Amino acid sequence: MCGQRLDKMIAGLIPQFSRARLAMWIEDGHVTVDGKKARGKDTVYGDETVVVVPQPAPEDAAYTAEDIPLDIVFEDEHIIVVNKPAGLVVHPGSGNWNGTLLNGLLHHCPQLLTVPRAGIVHRLDKDTSGLMVVGKTLAAQTDLVRQLQARTVKREYYALVWGTPHLSGTINAPMARSQKDRVKMAVSASLTAKPAITHYERIGQGEIERRPVSLVRCHLETGRTHQIRVHMQHLGFPLVGDTVYGKQHLAQFFHRQALQARRLGLVHPATGEQMEWTVELADDLLALLERAGVEEPLDEEEGGGARQRMEFDYGDMDDEDDDDDHDVTLIYTDR
């Protein structure tokens, strides 16, 4: 080891850890040489005392219960329906290994540790608010997965967009990962593009700083990543506050994409009862609508038939594992 770089010497002695992880420990001061913080490029000659203090990997905290406040809309021994706030990541991943909805669910219901992905069967973007369902048992989760795959789960989204789209319409435009920016999705005619169909209805109008805006209600027939955001931008009506797919100079008017999963309907996995939940729009969205002069339309129950809800036969559509909202991967484990 005489004359070797410190990082290479350590990598040879403890090969079970990746070089990237060891480099992070060195950078953060968890590796010392003769009691002093060292650099990876430092040379060791063989008579030094090298101390390595292993640190847990960020992903080790992924399934740790955390006391995160949750807005529980419904709960019984089989399912939980939660109203996710904007800003909360659904489950741990790169850059977000804790502080997620999954961590909060484990604190609220410790038995979810025995269910794959803590019972989560679908996702919402970090900055999208709204309803999600979680299976508390493997049987409930499996049934919810089947309903999602059969497209029988009803989900209704509200979005505020720039401009004035037609009163109603269907966007049938396949989507794929953007070739210019791999973080983004895009409408695409490539062979890798997946079918993507969005039904929308304009239900309100207003303006922000003399720019017209519209409140639209969306139903997704397929579940591609960022589908509503991409499809509305493709029509020329990006979501207010969307810094990824909207115009940057308009991002100042709202701190997130103006999108909420407001209504959720499904068959209860244990009783077979058709159930449906609706939540009020998030406070920040309500304030935005008020600022824009858009009146929120009444629900059927409140408005005496003021509107007719759109219903679609979703059929057996293709799924993609990487999608954010509507795709599921059920992992069976022996516990």
Q: DSSP labels for 225-258?
A: TTHHHHHHHHHT-PBTT-TTTS-GGGGGG-SS--
> Which one is catalytic: 7, 125, 127, 327?
125
Q: Which letter, b or e, does each residue of 305-329 get, where b requires 16 or more Cβ atoms within 10 Å of its Cβ?
A: eeeeeeeeebeebebbeebbbbbbe
The CATH homologous superfamily for domain 151-295 is: Pseudouridine synthase (3.30.2350.10)
Q: What is the pLDDT of residue 268?
A: 98
Q: Which CATH number fits domain 4-55: 3.40.50.300, 3.40.50.410, 1.10.10.10, 3.10.290.10?
A: 3.10.290.10
- Report CA 104 to chain centroid distance, whole Å: 15
Q: What is the pLDDT of residue 207?
A: 96
Q: What is the pLDDT of residue 59?
A: 65
Domain parsing of the chain, residue ranges:
4-55, 61-150, 151-295
Q: Which CATH number fits domain 61-150: 3.40.50.10540, 3.30.2350.10, 3.10.20.340, 3.10.20.740?
A: 3.30.2350.10
CA dist., res. 41 & res. 38, Å (int): 9
| Residue 117 backbone dihedrals phi, psi, to 5 degrees | 55, 25
Determine what percent of the chain falls in helix, strand and coil, rounding each to the nearest 5.
25, 25, 50
Q: Which of 325, 266, 291, 273 is nearest to 120 (CA)?
A: 325
Name the stretches of the chain with pLDDT < 70: 1-2, 58-61, 297-335
Q: What is the pLDDT of residue 18?
A: 82
Write out the H or E segment, with its range, that includes residue 11: helix 6-13
> Is 125 annotated in the active site?
yes
Q: What is the pLDDT of residue 61?
A: 64
Q: Do domains 4-55 and 61-150 have the same CATH topology?
A: no
Percent of the chain with pLDDT over 70: 86
Instruction: Record the pTM.
Output: 0.74
Q: What is the pLDDT of residue 1?
A: 58
Q: What is the pLDDT of residue 299?
A: 60
Q: Within 10 Å of residue 334's Cβ, how many Cβ atoms?
A: 3
For 106-137, the pLDDT digits (tens) are 999 999 998 989 999 998 999 999 999 999 99
